[in-house]
Amino acid sequence: MSDPEENPKSNSNLIIIDYKSNVPLFGLDFLGVLDRATNVLEVKPITICNFHCKYCFVSAGDYDRNFSIDRDYLVEWIIKAIELKNCDDIEIHLAAYGEVLLYKELNELISDLRNIPEIKTISMQSNGVLLTKKKIRELENAGLDRLNISLNSMDENECADYCGVKNYNLEHLLHVFDLVLKSKMELLIAPVWFKGINDNGILDIIKYIKKVEEKGYKWPKLRLGIQNYLTYRTGRKIKKARMRDFKYFYKLLQNMEKEYKIKLRLGPNDFGIHKTTAIYPSVRIDDIRNVEILMKGRWRNEYIALFEDKWAVKVLSKEKIPLKKKIRVKFIKSSLKGNLLTAIPTIH
């Protein structure tokens, strides 16, 4: 495990989580294997991003320290998760708190996963701009089934603005869409709808999809998954954009479905998602237990701790805690329907 302090935001200075680090890959929201009691396991191998989106709910790009998981170590924990779930139609959804294409061993990781019989689908979330003809072929050959790519407008300047970058090559991204559609993989275009801000952008994307459909690419090869804009306390927010409740959001989608004759409301059945055994820890909210501080987390006030030798816990503390120290913590996040753990110190 390397622990760079000099320039923690650069790619070469990623903190590598591997066997030596002793960090379990169950328990953290930003890294590892996340279970939500369904047949989909979300896998988060890296925390860096090439964008700095104004709406990023995980604030990627602002972290003081960034992480990447050793591939063998990650595969071992994914296998562990599959065994615990006792399920033979697992979907692995690669959805980093960052851009997964920046993960150095992505092709190899997908190939490894393809060889696990219980894994039936491998999908991936990306902003897409780093994709090239070669990369798309590599992902296809490695065994990727579906690419979910974000796009929030058909206007290049607006895209650049939302994504917090100087230049956004929309033409390149549309070419990427063509190449993905010509491959064996499915394509899901996933805009976020900031109501009142990118309304025209959403309509333009619908019109674009309708045109592509005319070339013969239909559901499920090509899907549009418009997402409701959600804000979180620790995420970045677009000024003037408001969160809408889901009932209202689905009503808007329903109206547009009728008007444009396109499927827009997507649910678990559309992706073969069903409930399964959950991977959950032995603690409940407000329980007080001992943990060992392993390392600092992404932020100044965040630590990664070890609990019961098999769980990573996010410990939030404004006060400095020495590494390797065993402390008492109170759990403030834990659930029977998933494997995330957050705690705060009782006394140091």
Q: Which amino acid, one-letter code, is at 151?
A: L
**Residue 74 CB contacts under 8 Å (≥ 6 apart), including other chains:** 25, 32, 33, 43, 45, 109
Based on CB atoms, which residue is closest to ligand SF4, 150 or 342?
150
Based on CB atoms, which residue is closest to ligand SF4, 162 or 271?
162
Write down the least CB distance from residue 307 to ligand SF4, Å: 27
Based on CB atoms, which residue is closest to ligand SF4, 24 or 98?
98
Burial code (b: 16+ CB inside 10 Å, e: under 16) for 315-347 equals bbbeeeeeeeeebebebeebeeebbbbbbebee
Based on CB atoms, which residue is closest to ligand SF4, 56 or 74?
56
Based on CB atoms, which residue is closest to ligand SF4, 52 or 289?
52
Q: Which amino acid, one-letter code, is at 198?
A: N
DSSP-derived 3-state class of residue 69: strand
Write down the least CB distance from residue 193 to ligand SF4, Å: 14
Write down the least CB distance from residue 127 to ligand SF4, Å: 4
Whether 55 contacts 192, CB under 8 Å: yes
Based on CB atoms, which residue is closest to ligand SF4, 41 or 53?
53
Tokens found for residue 284: 């409940």
Write down the least CB distance from residue 237 to ligand SF4, Å: 12
Whether 105 contacts 71, CB under 8 Å: yes
Cα separation, 26 vs 192, in Å, equals: 28
Based on CB atoms, which residue is closest to ligand SF4, 139 or 343?
139
Q: What is the DSSP letter of 14?
A: P
Write down the least CB distance from residue 48 to ligand SF4, Å: 9
Write down the least CB distance from residue 274 to ligand SF4, Å: 27
Give how far the C-alpha of residue 52 lies from the chain's centroid of Cα atoms, to the nearest Å.
Answer: 15
**Radius of gyration for the chain, computed over Cα atoms and rounded to the nearest angstrom:** 20
- ∠ CA 243-244-248, nearest 5°, is 170
Interaction site with ligand SF4 (CB under 6 A): 49, 51-53, 56, 58, 60-61, 98-99, 127
